[in-house]
Structure 1
Amino acid sequence: MQLSVPRRAPAPAVKALRIGVADRALAPAPPSPEPSAAARPEVEALLARRARAVLHRDAAELAATAAPAHRAAQAELERRTARVPLAAWSYRVTGLDGGGDRLTADVRLDHRITGYDRHPATATRRLTLERSGGRWLLAADRPVGGALLWDLGTVRAVTGRHCLVLGLGTAAEAELLARAADRAVPAVSAVWGTGWAGRLLLYAPGSLDQLARLLDAGAADYQGIAAVTTASTGPSDTAPADRILVNPEAYRGLSDLGRQVVTTHEAVHVATRAATRPWTPLWLSEGAADWTAYLHTGRTAQQIAPELAADVTAGRLPRALPADAAFGTTATGLAQAYEQAWFACTLIARRHGPRALTTLYRTIAATGSADADRTTTVDRALRKVLGTGLAAFTADWRSQLAAELTTPTPSPRPAG
């Protein structure tokens, strides 16, 4: 604002003016906003514009949000996601730092897949922004933590009756996975009911290293793991979107039956997520998934649990149901932990019926709490549903392991 002072102003007026100027000079200046804070509204507008461009496949608009050196990457993003049926894509700025003509923004990227995600899958990204031509433009976009599938390559899509496979491998591999998923969904619903989405979203990276990048983990941690479900525990109306991630190197090495068992097992985790709580023991959640997956396969206990059978035959009978730590991807005796869990759930279903197993699962979810002792929660649920406590059930489980999994020593052939 410009002050206009008459050239021949009366002395008091001039004096008053001079006092006012002096007062303003001595008063502390109001704090200036940090450059990054001042830029926030413009950055948020840029990211909203970018999100609309991604969602609507507007190549020109997407390129216009990026600095010239980064525009080729925008065309690559559009190409890589061309087959991904996006229902939503949005950014939320969680941190902004820098000044001058360069900023770093930490953002949460939420996206949903059409027909599969009721709630968004979330990723953390770190963006570099440059000031050019009087506006902020994207100069770099990097994952923080787990990568997104299209960070790693061009995504192909295969749609089944009950599933969508998004993959980086061959079309044949994606179609094979879709067929297994289509068989898994009705098999799981037959046991666990239809009160879940009844469809599966599967990610098939092209290598173990790519799987590790999606999970933000070391490749060695998932060397022998054929698939993993990223569903969080809790009700589906609050937990993030489900994804079944396949380790292509381990999955390729399985038989047709093995691939079906793995896919059905992971489908159980998706179907039971709403009834899975932090206090649900892993021997129950993993055992129930394996029991469902092996149901009607015609496989014997010796065939399903060969490592456990070898241990029992050698006199190494487990003392207790496997602890959660036994299911770590690099835990010693991981195969035995899964086989012990499968046998426990098989025993429940055989003695009390399949409905008792699913009821037990849901009862533990409904009657426990984060503050309650988990052993007490499981014991009470067992008594309520099966009429037996945890100690008695464990003793019965050990007895049946010894009876059913001990391999008889072959009788020597008579001489002569």
Structure 2
Amino acid sequence: MLPAAAPLSRRGALLLAAGGLAQLSLPPAAPAPPPAPAAGLPGAAVTALLAARATALRTHDGAALTATSTVTARAGQFGLLAALAAVPLAGLEYRSPVVSGSVAGGAATVTAELAVRIEGHDGYPALFARRLTLAEESGGWRVAGEETAGGAVPLWDLGAVQAAAGAHCLVLATAGGPAAPAALAEVGDRAVTAVSAVWGGGWAGRLLLELPATEEQFARLLDVPAADWTEMAAVTTAAAGAPRQTPADRVLVNPDAYGRLSAVGRQVVTTHEATHVATRADTRPWTPLWLSEGAADWTGYLDTGRTPRQIAPELARAVAAGQLPSALPADADFAAGAPGIARTYELAWLACDLIARRYGPSKLVAFYRAVGAAGEGAGREQQLDRVLRAELGTGLGEFTGDWVAEAHRLFAA
């Protein structure tokens, strides 16, 4: 999906309830500006302590980590290092530390951003809000505890992380889930190959997938209510705070929803998400969701052998009942929980499938990129009409009519 101002504005789906799947793509979230520092604890002492702690975590140095911790907190640091042991860290640092509350009595609280980069995958760090409790001990300040300060959490907050590397992807998983990390790595490798065959090699050509053990853990990784996301099988995110057109760097998998899918469904979901990663640089806020989600679904279903009725069962039922579409889906139709969301994604798939079959897959790719490169223009529909005419030789009204006729041709009988 495209980056946009609202944090949950880009989403894609195959709804389980409709015989398909559900997926969602999220843009990077803009970090909140740090509060003004409070007086009391010397800033240099905080900076030095957190820098030493970050280096110890990044290098998995137990002795150095315990040296930054209070005596009572040291036992827990070995558990933290064990949870992090399989994570290939290219970078880890605490940014913008701010002391809050009173430092009287040799105790203080510090909030900071934990910036994390995964080796071979993150061009920009993922940022996590952290709260550290400090205590004065043995003539210096030490960390007595660390926890989330709100928002999404890193995977190792949820348990020990396991890693499974494929040829083109890395899976980081917490133990105990229904999906095997190695199996997901195989699916991820196939997804990268399939996406590159359509969209070319102008992207990183690799995936980072996070596989929590439970749906509740999945929700914590996103900082969303678990009950609202039970049908979402996967989410694509970009590093919080990264530039808007930074390639999406993480695919988060909902193990419960993903685990209910068939082998084909799992491949479609993962390839769909890989398409968002590959096309992020060509996707802009003015790219309509029917195009970005439809292209991802079209790529996901390509070469699966699924018929249009198998891909779009809700649309087939609606058209057979005389309910033909009248307009391409609006962005609001893709909102999680929107009425008829399964059919909305099927309509988007049909639009992109029509372009690929009538003009060729390369024309679908060229059209997608041309929409992103065109700019917002005087009006979104006018600009889309102009690009359609330039790339495909047809206007928006004519294309919409052809798309309606195609729905009738495929599903009216």
TM range (shorter): 0.7 to 0.9
Do 1:233 and 1:278's aligned partners in 2 also have CA atoms closer than 8 Å?
no
Size of the alignment, in residue pairs?
Answer: 373
Matched, 1:118 2:126: no
Matched, 1:212 2:219: yes
Structure 2 residue aligned with 1:299, among 293, 297, 306? 306
SS at the partner of 2:39?
helix
Return closer, same or farther for 1:352/1:233 CA change in 2, 3 Å cut-off.
farther
Do 2:69 and 2:144's aligned partners in 1 also have CA atoms closer than 8 Å?
yes
- Equivalent in the alignment of 2:68: 65
Matched, 1:345 2:359: no
Return closer, same or farther for 1:233/1:311 CA change in 2, 3 Å cut-off.
farther
Distance 2:236 2:155 in 1: 15
Return closer, same or farther for 1:349/1:336 CA change in 2, 3 Å cut-off.
same
- Equivalent in the alignment of 1:87: 90
Q: Report the alpha carbon displacement of residue 37 of structure 1 after superposing the two structures with TM.
A: 5.4
Instruction: Provide, for residues 153-184 of structure 1, a one-character-per-residue CA deviation record: whole Å limited to 9, x for no partner.
Output: 11100011111100114596111111111111
Return closer, same or farther for 1:35/1:260 CA change in 2, 3 Å cut-off.
closer
Range moving further from structure 2, 186-195 or 126-135: 126-135
Q: Report the alpha carbon displacement of residue 54 of structure 1 after superposing the two structures with TM.
A: 0.7
Structure 1 residue aligned with 2:330, among 308, 311, 323? 323
Matched, 1:163 2:169: yes
- Equivalent in the alignment of 1:11: none
Instruction: Provide, for residues 117-152 of structure 1, a one-character-per-residue CA deviation record: whole Å limited to 9, x for no partner.
Output: 222122111222222233222122122200110000
Do 1:52 and 1:89's aligned partners in 2 also have CA atoms closer than 8 Å?
yes
Instruction: Provide, for residues 252-309 of structure 1, a one-character-per-residue CA deviation record: whole Å limited to 9, x for no partner.
Output: 1111111111111111011111111111111111100110111111211111000111
Q: 1:89 is matched by which residue type in structure 2? A: L
5+ residue gaps, structure 2 = 1-36
Larger Rg: 1
Range moving further from structure 2, 155-164 or 63-72: 63-72
- Equivalent in the alignment of 1:377: 383
Distance 1:105 1:79 in 2: 24
Q: Report the alpha carbon displacement of residue 235 of structure 1 after superposing the two structures with TM.
A: 9.5
Return closer, same or farther for 1:132/1:62 CA change in 2, 3 Å cut-off.
same
Distance 1:321 1:126 in 2: 46
Instruction: Provide, for residues 171-200 of structure 1, a one-character-per-residue CA deviation record: whole Å limited to 9, x for no partner.
Output: 961111111111111110010000111111
- Equivalent in the alignment of 2:112: 107
Return closer, same or farther for 1:35/1:268 CA change in 2, 3 Å cut-off.
closer
Do 1:188 and 1:264's aligned partners in 2 also have CA atoms closer than 8 Å?
yes
Return closer, same or farther for 1:302/1:238 CA change in 2, 3 Å cut-off.
closer
Taking structure 2 as the reference length, the TM-score comes to: 0.86
SS at the partner of 1:224?
coil
Distance 1:236 1:324 in 2: 23
Instruction: Provide, for residues 73-127 of structure 1, a one-character-per-residue CA deviation record: whole Å limited to 9, x for no partner.
Output: 2111100010011111111125321222222222111111111122212211122
SS at the partner of 1:272?
helix
Matched, 1:148 2:154: yes
Return closer, same or farther for 1:241/1:396 CA change in 2, 3 Å cut-off.
closer
Matched, 1:127 2:171: no
Structure 1 residue aligned with 2:196, among 178, 181, 189? 189
Instruction: Provide, for residues 180-239 of structure 1, a one-character-per-residue CA deviation record: whole Å limited to 9, x for no partner.
Output: 111111110010000111111100000111000000001122111111111379998963
SS at the partner of 1:115?
coil
Q: 2:164 is matched by which residue type in structure 1? A: V
- Equivalent in the alignment of 1:278: 285
SS at the partner of 2:42?
helix
Matched, 1:97 2:104: no
- Equivalent in the alignment of 2:230: 223
Q: Report the alpha carbon displacement of residue 393 of structure 1 after superposing the two structures with TM.
A: 1.2
The aligned runs of 1:248-267 (5 Å cut-off) are: 248-267=255-274
Do 2:247 and 2:281's aligned partners in 1 also have CA atoms closer than 8 Å?
no
Taking structure 1 as the reference length, the TM-score comes to: 0.85
Range moving further from structure 2, 146-155 or 330-339: 330-339
SS at the partner of 2:180?
helix
Return closer, same or farther for 1:218/1:155 CA change in 2, 3 Å cut-off.
same
Q: Report the alpha carbon displacement of residue 374 of structure 1 after superposing the two structures with TM.
A: 2.3
Distance 1:35 1:330 in 2: 43
Distance 1:233 1:389 in 2: 37
Return closer, same or farther for 1:261/1:240 CA change in 2, 3 Å cut-off.
closer
Range moving further from structure 2, 356-365 or 168-177: 168-177
Distance 2:210 2:280 in 1: 18
Do 1:226 and 1:250's aligned partners in 2 also have CA atoms closer than 8 Å?
yes
Matched, 1:398 2:401: no
Return closer, same or farther for 1:79/1:399 CA change in 2, 3 Å cut-off.
same
SS at the partner of 1:36?
coil
Return closer, same or farther for 1:65/1:233 CA change in 2, 3 Å cut-off.
closer
Do 1:231 and 1:240's aligned partners in 2 also have CA atoms closer than 8 Å?
yes
Matched, 1:137 2:142: yes
Using the aligned pairs only, state the percent identity. Answer: 54
5+ residue gaps, structure 1 = 1-33, 409-416
Return closer, same or farther for 1:136/1:299 CA change in 2, 3 Å cut-off.
same
Q: 1:106 is matched by which residue type in structure 2? A: T
Distance 2:346 2:392 in 1: 22
